[in-house]
Amino acid sequence: MFQAQRNQPTTIGIDARTMFAPQPRGTGRNLRDAFALIPGLRPEWQFLLYHRTKPAIDAAEVLGMAATANVRPRYIDIPGDRFDLWLQMRLPLAAWRDRVDLLHLPANAAPARCSVPYVVTVHDLIPLCVAGELPEREQRRFQQGVERAVRGAALIITPSEATRAELLADYDIPENRIAVIPWAPDREIAAVIGDDNRRAHEIERVRYDYGLRRPWLLNFSGNSRRKNAEGVIDALARLPAEVRAGVTVLLVGCEPETFRATLIERGRRLGVSGNLRLTGFVPHEDLPGLLAGAAGLLIPSQCEGFGLPILDAFAADTPVLTSSLSSMPEVAGPAALMCDPYSPSSIADGITKLLDESIAEQLREAGRARVRQYKWEQTARLMCAAYERALDMVSTRRVTTDETPELVGVTEERGI
């Protein structure tokens, strides 16, 4: 293996900017959950967490009490940072100077030139699959970033078979260069939900704080139309009056304010304002109560790279209605109701079934079984295996080919 050839500790660098964000979301939270376990699985390795957050945040604060001696935060910055120079220049230079053996780039993009081997996580190709997801200029930038990343990566990590299939269809990539590593439920949410007293307290707290006097259905609307908040509101209007009268639909993450105003007007026009509650982004500490107290989670998205709220809902013992498209059936399996996200009538029919207590109880039982298949321990093991595989591939390529002269040259200069 690569480590044995070097006869010194393997060093893994991570673009950890999202992990060190004051309020991490998405990728940042997933990386925190994974790296709370990964260093302990490879105590002989060294992990450098590159970030640019001031005031400095200790690794123990990022990773919890699991932070160990083989994890070191590494603050680096660059003045101005025009043209994404932190990623394009500052990070590759720091990784080279630190003699990093492998750099993990976790957010769909890579530097144009990188003198150390890297793996890249491609979460999804949504901006290339969903019309209008990004403005045209940003879409081109996203496409260029993905093309550059998959071309130069020793290994590509993706969270779902759905994204893997899209990558294989759209890019000339050998199958053995893609590793599917699914996520697991948010550890902080699961910790609160797993404590009966904290769970009950949080449900009552959010019920009061959000003014939820009726049973509620939760939807993470985000700031993207593919999340289908409009479809949820249209479906609410199609519910039988007696069903609608007993429920509130809570849409969270409706940003920016102009988008939220559009949704509020849509609800008013359809006559469902009294059963609709919309908010912007909510604090992470509110999510356990909102999920665990909900009568159901609605995630009829048009496209997802994974669909992590599905697993969070299963962990919260909350029944789920999701889309029959993209990665969502892969994640939910038989434990959720499926709908056509482009049909408000299909969504409404799914909501009606979700509110049937006998069906909901069957879904809760299936969700409990399904979520047991997704563990952060398994994710961490697969990540370590992916790093080892990438290191071996790079080591073999260095010996057998000159297809990457820049990398080989740097390797020789460093005396590895």
CATH superfamily for 187-371 is Glycogen Phosphorylase B; (3.40.50.2000)
Tokens at 340, concatenated:
């056509």
For 242, counting Cβ atoms within 10 Å of its Cβ (0-12 exposed, 13-18 middle, 19+ buried), the class is exposed
Tens of pLDDT along the chain (416 residues) come to 444 445 678 999 999 999 988 888 888 999 999 999 999 999 999 999 999 988 777 777 778 756 678 999 999 998 876 778 999 999 999 999 999 999 999 989 999 999 999 999 999 999 888 888 888 888 888 888 899 999 999 999 999 999 999 999 999 899 999 999 999 999 999 999 999 999 999 999 999 999 999 999 999 988 888 999 999 999 999 999 999 999 999 999 998 899 999 999 999 999 999 999 999 999 999 999 999 999 999 999 999 999 999 999 999 999 999 999 999 999 999 999 999 999 999 999 999 999 999 999 999 999 999 999 999 999 999 999 999 999 998 877 655 544 443 433 333 333 22
Per-residue pLDDT reduced to its tens digit, 43-64: 999 999 999 988 777 777 778 7
Among candidate residues 252, 184, 199, the one with its CA nearest the CA of residue 29:
184
Rg of the chain, C-alpha, whole Å:
23
SS3 371: helix
Asked if 2-184+376-414 and 187-371 have one fold, the answer is yes
For residue 387, count other CB atoms closer than 10 A to its CB: 24
Domains of the chain, residue spans: 2-184+376-414, 187-371
Q: Fold for domain 2-184+376-414?
A: Rossmann fold (3.40.50)
User: What CA–CA distance (Å, rounded) separates 285 from 23?
Assistant: 11
Type of residue at 370 = R
Among candidate residues 164, 152, 153, 151, the one with its CA nearest the CA of residue 125:
164
User: What CA–CA distance (Å, rounded) separates 129 from 409?
Assistant: 38
Q: Residue 179 forms beta bridges with which residues?
A: 157
Q: Residue 220 forms beta bridges with which residues?
A: 252
Global pTM? Answer: 0.90
Between vectors from CA 155 to CA 154 and to CA 161, what angle results, nearest 5°?
160
User: What CA–CA distance (Å, rounded) separates 223 from 25?
Assistant: 14
User: What CA–CA distance (Å, rounded) separates 1 from 6?
Assistant: 9
User: What CA–CA distance (Å, rounded) separates 94 from 50?
Assistant: 9
